Amino acid sequence: MLTLSLAQMDVATADPKSNLEKTRRFAAEAKAKGSDIIVFPEMWTVGFNWEYNRKHASEHEETLNAVKSIAASHSIWVHGSLPALTDEGIANRSVLISDKGEVTAWYDKAHLFSLVGEERHMASGRSRTLADTPWGPMGLAVCYDLRFPELFRRYAVDGAELIFLPSAFPEPRLAHWRTLIRARAIENQLFMVSCNQVGTKQLEHPTTFFGNSCIIDPWGETVIEGGTEEQLLTAEINLSKAREIRNYMRVLDDRRPDLY
């Protein structure tokens, strides 16, 4: 069994100190609830102030080190996305940190959200990442990736039984959020673990993130789902359910890659 907590956060824009303090509080609460992994939203350490994130690029590694220390001090695995400085610029990096405070896997967001010009500010990832964990293989994706089913199918074919999706999904696309997460879970017969931001921020225009963080099981059933406020959601899952459903309905085996 695997116990997960989703830290549905109202992220303080350009204020890593405040966000790290929330991270500590949420990690302590999740550990007290018996969680093995705590999951945070997309860009949870700083939010989406492009100028700030670029100006303070050299400080992102320091913030990551602080998160690693939190994971180790609370003996809990941590996942979420944050900015990372690369040779090509700043990437939106999904990281999986062990309960020893070590980065065990990372993935740079491949699909950048052109609707808000993300490609002008962030470096695109060039590869997918299947993380090897004590509970089984897990895929890493970020927010807008959700609209590209090929990535998720590739993870499923590679053996993923769960995919993490840290997000900053805003109004008015709640119906898209719920539909696409459930579709990715059903069609690939795996768990979708999706943690979304809440709160209203001034980006190009006022933007409200609607929360509704959730875990959807391989049959498309809701394990847990949040509301629109800041909160910690905790649930227990059994990853063997993915294997059971794949053995019962052999969707992955019945594919016709010779046709598509």
* Residues recognised as catalytic: 42, 109, 143
Positive or negative torsion for Cα 81, 83, 86, 90 = positive
Displacement of CA 151 from its chain's centroid (Å): 14
At 260, list the tokens: 């598509």
CB atoms within 10 A of CB 139: 28
**Strand runs labelled E in 20-99:** 37-39, 77-86, 89-97
Q: How many whole angstroms from its chain centre is CA 25?
A: 19
Contacts of 78 (CB under 8 A, 6+ apart): 23, 27, 37, 38, 40, 67, 70, 71, 95, 96, 97
CA atoms within 13 A on the CB side of 179: 5
